[in-house]
């Protein structure tokens, strides 16, 4: 029974968590996101979802090698996770992309504070082969139900906003609602 339980635990770990960072993977994130949206509807709360992408990660891999790149991802994921509240989720989306889920928000103030804290934490130096690298990240946030009516739309809006953060010079945080506001002003 113990061996079977250990195997089952290992299979669950592999199915729901990223092998490198040990963060929840897409499957686990989707479940947590669905639960967060249900609670938000039931309790008239908001859910913030942020796509996080490392800036110039390819340069780290090309300069230091993929093993060092993996070390940066693990170190960065630990730092980002430490900046979150207990109820928040940091998941690895793939490659050098992460997703942060901030559920149960009665106001958006915690989201803005956490977003800036994540950006600052990412810029702390990481030493690789005796050389310090200071990675930066671009983050795009979207809010449920303000910016999207379901999980798929929320993921899409946050992803779109992250790409806007990259095109706006990288190393910054953008919010979907602000993008819509600035586009309406441009018209």
**Would you name the residues annotated as active-site residues?**
96
What is the token pair recorded at 134? 């200071």
34 vs 42: CA distance, rounded Å: 12
Output the DSSP codes for 45-111.
-EEEEEEEEETTHHHHHHHH-HHHHHHHHHHHHHHHHHTS-TT-EEEEEETTEEEEEEEEESSSHHH
Query: Burial level of 79, CB count in 10 A (0-12/13-18/19+)?
Result: middle
Identify the CA nearest to 84 among candidates 69, 106, 99.
99
């Amino acid at each position: 029974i113990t061996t079977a339980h250990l195997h089952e635990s290992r299979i669950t770990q592999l199915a729901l968590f990223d092998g490198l960072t040990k963060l929840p993977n897409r499957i686990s994130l989707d479940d947590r996101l669905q639960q967060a949206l249900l609670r938000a509807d039931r309790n008239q709360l908001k859910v913030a979802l942020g796509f996080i992408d490392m800036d110039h990660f390819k340069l780290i891999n090309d300069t230091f090698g993929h093993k060092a790149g993996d070390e940066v991802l693990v170190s960065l994921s630990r730092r980002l996770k430490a900046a979150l509240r207990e109820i928040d989720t940091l998941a690895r989306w793939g490659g050098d992309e992460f997703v942060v889920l901030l559920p149960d928000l009665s106001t958006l103030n915690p989201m803005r504070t956490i977003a800036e804290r994540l950006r600052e934490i990412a810029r702390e130096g990481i030493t690789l082969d005796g050389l310090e690298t200071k990675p930066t990240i671009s983050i795009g946030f979207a809010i449920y139900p303000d910016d999207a009516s379901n999980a798929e739309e929320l993921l899409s809006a946050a992803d779109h906003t992250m790409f806007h953060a990259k095109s706006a010079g990288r190393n910054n945080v953008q919010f979907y609602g602000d993008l819509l506001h600035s586009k309406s002003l441009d018209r």
